[in-house]
Structure 1
Amino acid sequence: MKIRNIVAGLAVLAVTATGTACSGKSTESGGGTGADGVKTGPGVTADKITLGALTDLTGVYATLGKSITQAQQLYFDELNAAGGVCGRDVEVLVRDHGYDVQKAVGAYTEIQPKVAGLPQVIGSPVMAAIAANVATDKLLTVPAAWPSALLKAPYVQVVGSTYEIEMINGIEFLLKEKGIKKGDKIGHVYFEGEYGESALAGSKFAAEKAGLTIVEQRIKPTDTDMTSQVSALKAEGVKAILISAGPRQSASLAGVAAAGGLMVPILSNNPGFSPQLLATAAKPALEANFHLITAAFPNDSKEPGMTALVSAYEAKHPGEALDGGVTFGYVSAMVFGEALKKACADKDLTREGIYKAHQSQSAFDTKGLMPPLDFSKPGDVGTRVSLIQKPDSKVKGGLTAVGEPIVSENAVAYTFQ
């Protein structure tokens, strides 16, 4: 059953080896020690491990949420087909919060007793609202959000880098490849809240090191017309624009800037693009001036792991768009899968056992989907490497790499506050 056919309020998807099924039933939680000698806790029974996802299938990041969810479904189907973990199938209960924090908190309260961990939580505001409970409940959680504040949250694992690191490496790209020099002004359009503030901290840090001036334009997620922001930045004479917002804002910014003659490089944090934009009127402006900063390799990468993922995803979801959410979703599911396997080997599938197993991974192999990730240093990022990508409607996923991965001296030196 495809996700789009079952979204209504809170969608419930059970991901198993046989596919995805609708279910409104509660998952019974295990506890104690099983006949196989494995310690268990909430979300783990004799034959099943239940995980949870708080996603956005109907809100501002619906495209991203669908891609992440379907990619995670693909991984766990493969894992279950290979025998599961400790003889148990892994399933995921998915709740659609529509990027509504109140709905997300209610969904968390409902599924928390039923799950052993959360391989997906979309949204910085959502994570901010549930972080304290995640720590109390000892739930290993992978957010689809990258503000540095989450690095300090117990039981939360940021997969990739943070918005600060992306912006620091992005400015390095502008200096080396786009002719930006000391004394220049750079615009930064950013969402209010943790996402935008984290990105702004990174751009200000890198700008100060390079002798640049950041011209700020703060916006709300409901702002979709960037005309006034472009006018203000053009009047300031900016030589490049950074944007830390969503795909709609990126499309508007690129289109309005090009129409107004402001033909400057535009660099976005990783949530700011979806390939569907290349089917809109913004396509020419995006392909001319827009760049995405991310920790994931593009879908047109020739790495064997990416080739395998693209082939498997397209076979399971023919005609569906590929994007960065597919890569992130698959990697974040891998992170959970490997933690579960290690916890199984340690005979401890309690929440604490899963988290401990996860933290033992200091050189996590993503099979060429991302750079190697280090999860052994609480409070730090898994990688400080970024990839610069450019929209291209002729390639899978709508993005292609520009040059080699970047890890600037400033990114290495940056200390999270």
Structure 2
Amino acid sequence: MNDLYSRHRAVLPDWLALYYDDPLEITRGEGRHVWDADGNRYLDFFGGILTTTTAHALPEVAKAIAEQAGRIIHSSTLYLNRPMVELAERIARLSGIPDARVFFTTSGTEANDTALLLATTHRRSNTVLAMRNSYHGRSFSTVGITGNRGWSPTSLSPLQTLYVHGGVRTRGPFAELDDRAFTAACVADLRDVLGHTRPPAALIAEPVQGVGGFTSPPDGLYAAFREVLDEHGVLWIADEVQTGWGRTGDHFWGWQAHDRNGPPDIVTFAKGIGNGASIGGVIARAEIMNCLDANSISTFGGSQLTMAAGLANLDHLIEHDLQGNARRVGGLLIERLRTIAAPLPGVREVRGRGLMIGVELVRPGTDEADPAGAAAVLEAARAGGLLIGKGGGHDTSALRIAPPLSLTVAEAEEGAAILEHALRSTR
């Protein structure tokens, strides 16, 4: 392993983040478990950053990939592609967006990049509203709208970005307000921002902030924002890269917790739809999607191989009601973790919905973030046979828990017990 780590460092960028003091090479997966190069078995509560949505080595997906690979893997979007059309039809219906069009990409970054291109072209504005503590990708344009210092390496951007309040409920200037007053204050902040700038192209927002530590506003906040945005003709882009496909349990899409005004103008997606295959995409109503007046294609977006994987994975997810399982098992896991955390002075909050759970750590006796403590818990959990993630604002002090949606009650209990030991041994 040390040899592979040395080779990694010799040829890959220093800024390519790795977990753990002794980095892990994962060589095999099955169900909710993975194995490393030394044969150690782990319960996977992070799913390759919320990407293994159904299960590792899901037979239906593996079979679909193998059968498609035996026919043709790739042809580009210059040719008709039956699996791409079929998956686009499914996603368009599921989106709730009227007269929807779907464009496939290879990642969430590229999906958000495309959404920004569409919104700025449609609105003829390069101003974008984004949420504080947000994350939208690693491309030049998406870094420029990311409101999380730890993941935004440059202030240079082709866009003018204005940040508004609301993505973090329990920190910031409005944290002490109740939900109704919090929403009203955030709406007032949005109105104030709009009063000082030319009309922006769009607001881009994650219904639950992923890299930001699984934080979220009160339900209905984005619907309240939408009323203000509509007054100014500003589009709403829902970044569903991490929240889509039933992960939050209560809803298929995260935006549905805010839906009194209907679906967003644009939805971006990625990660879980492919269960590990490289699929991202954008959904928008036709007048927005068709606003580009120059040629465009995608060489790898919508490849036959990834579309076959996406179709098989989506079928399995819906037929086995994994959204319902995320709601049931996720609810039990959240309550179990809250019980564990209650007596621990270093745990500030257990939050989340479905199988998207954050555990925020602080230095005991303070309200100060504890990134070193989060790193220690990550290591201790691995030693106990559990893989989790971490995130948060610039402090990276929240543990991120996002297992495959097929997680069983027994596995949830097992993971909670390992995490309890890790928290108690490090707090």
Q: TM-score, normalised by structure 1?
A: 0.29
Q: TM-score, normalised by structure 2?
A: 0.28
Quick one: higher RCO (CA 8 Å, sep 6+), 1 or 2?
A: 2
